Structure 1
Amino acid sequence: MTDSFVPAERARLALPRRGLMLIMSSPSGAGKTTISRKLLEAEGASLAMSVSVTTRPIRPTEVDGRDYHFTDVPAFRRMVDEGAFLEWAEVFGNLYGTPRAQVSAGLAAGQDYLFDVDWQGAQQLAQAAGSDVVTVFLLPPSVAELESRLRGRGTDSEEVVRGRMDRARAEMSHWSEYDYVVVNDVIEDCFAKVQTILAAERLKRTRQTGLVDFTRGLMA
């Protein structure tokens, strides 16, 4: 078998599958943003960050439709009433929501989505999307290490750091509500584990929508 044959053979044997919603949560400073960026870079077009709708003012570096779908409060409220969101929440006076139609269409086409939400958002998405959801919670190796990471940013006051630590403890109390829990001690090790979780979940029989026709063909 030549090297040029392998990609073509893999493409020929690729079976249709339903996409999944990979939800990652962690306390601030546990590395969720870093792991998310590495996943998006490694997976390319097969994994997309979910683009939320928000009433927050757009920032100079942001692009409408890429970073967020920006709207006003009345329009957002209408979308809530119409059931247009899988989940939504108010954060620091601004509204954020996950558009249902966009995600549903992508999942049906085999697109995987990455969600960066807290435990409340994870619960809402799990209730709304059921078996399409895979939840991962990242833990720091220790409280001392988490505090060191937060202080190492050098941008927050003592009061802000204490507030973040209090919120971190509250968030970590929900670890048992997740499908997978990974301790982020070494970034590369943590990334490898999360990528393995994603690969395994993609292979679940219930997501392999093309298996029925494939196996019928084998037995014909």
Structure 2
Amino acid sequence: MTMAPSDADPAPTAVASQPVPGGPQRKGLLLILSSPSGAGKSTLSRRLMTWDPTLAFSVSATTRPPRPGEVDGRHYHFRSRPEFEAMVAAGEMLEHAEVFGNLYGSPRAPVEQAMAAGRDTLFDVDWQGGQQIRSSALGRDVVSVFILPPSIAELETRLRGRGQDSEAVIAARMAKSRDEISHWAEYDYVVVNRDADAAEEELRTILRAERARRDRQPWLGEFVRGLNREFEGLT
């Protein structure tokens, strides 16, 4: 399940490295962040998007009704259940799941458009959504990160600190957390979110490294051939 970004993101303060000027633009990657509720993946998602405004965020489709202040297409793509199910049947969803009686999913077309433009797409999803995306036709371009809380006690404290959920909802989220955490080993990277600043820096490092992988730099082959031609010109 993909979540929505906050409506109050701070202004960008830094921009991540871009492809080499003049070289063919690299294909965008899919960065998946997953965690149990309350471990901080939504906060870290917003921080990454502030650090690098070129990141595209995968806005989820959902059958739940809009909450006050939510805008269709910005926070979620709000769809009726029949409309959502028709999108699934047509193969228009990268992943989907039913959570607390509502359907959520990641539309495929915007992700493919971002990839083709050389933009990376950020997914704030649960383990089921991450598993489906990794198993999709776009799976080879996925980089997945699981966010762990420093302790279960801290996880509960963070959930209660939101002041948004009833006791019943908090109990349900805590019960689900154990199952969520059991999937940590399915991910490429794991970050323990003891401190948001440190966790964000780890995520930046992961993204920089993945962007720099040889197989993500389509311009390198021609660049090296150019270097070899320079060598030939010296002889």
Query: Which band: TM-score by shorter chain?
Result: 0.7 to 0.9
* Percent identity between the two aligned chains: 59
Pairs within 5 Å for 1:1-220: 12=21, 16-44=25-53, 46-128=54-136, 129-220=138-229
Name the amino acid aligned to 1:204: R
CA drift of 1:155 comes to 4.3
Task: Determine the C-alpha separation between the residues in 2 that align with 1:125 and 1:179.
Answer: 14
Task: Determine the C-alpha separation between the residues in 2 that align with 1:24 and 1:59.
Answer: 24
TM-score, length-normalised on structure 2?
Answer: 0.82
Task: Determine the C-alpha separation between the residues in 2 that align with 1:159 and 1:53.
Answer: 25
Number of aligned residue pairs: give it.
210
C-alpha offsets along residues 29-55 of structure 1, whole Å, 9 cap, x if unaligned? 2111211111111111x1121012222
Name the amino acid aligned to 1:216: R
Greater RCO, 1 or 2 (C-alpha within 8 Å, sep 6+): 1
- Of Structure 1 and Structure 2, which has the larger fraction of its residues in helix? 1
TM-score, length-normalised on structure 1?
Answer: 0.87
Task: Determine the C-alpha separation between the residues in 1 that align with 2:52 and 2:141.
Answer: 18
RMSD (Å) for aligned C-alpha atoms = 1.9
Task: Determine the C-alpha separation between the residues in 2 that align with 1:143 and 1:93.
Answer: 26
CA drift of 1:88 comes to 1.4
Task: Determine the C-alpha separation between the residues in 1 that align with 2:217 and 2:154.
Answer: 40
Task: Determine the C-alpha separation between the residues in 1 that align with 2:166 and 2:69.
Answer: 26
Q: Aligned pair in 2 of structure 1 residues 145, 97: CA closer, same or farther (>3 Å)?
A: closer
Task: Determine the C-alpha separation between the residues in 2 that align with 1:54 and 1:151.
Answer: 25
Q: Aligned pair in 2 of structure 1 residues 60, 180: CA closer, same or farther (>3 Å)?
A: same
CA drift of 1:81 comes to 1.6
Name the amino acid aligned to 1:131: R
Matched with 2:7 is none
CA drift of 1:114 comes to 0.8
Question: SS at the partner of 1:12?
Answer: coil
CA drift of 1:24 comes to 0.5
Task: Determine the C-alpha separation between the residues in 2 that align with 1:156 and 1:99.
Answer: 28
C-alpha offsets along residues 96-140 of structure 1, whole Å, 9 cap, x if unaligned? 221222211211211111111100000000001222111101111
Contact 1:39–1:195 under 8 Å retained in 2: yes
Task: Determine the C-alpha separation between the residues in 2 that align with 1:28 and 1:76.
Answer: 24
- Gaps of at least 5 residues in structure 2 are 1-18, 230-235
CA drift of 1:203 comes to 0.8
- Gaps of at least 5 residues in structure 1 are 1-9
Contact 2:58–2:110 under 8 Å retained in 1: no
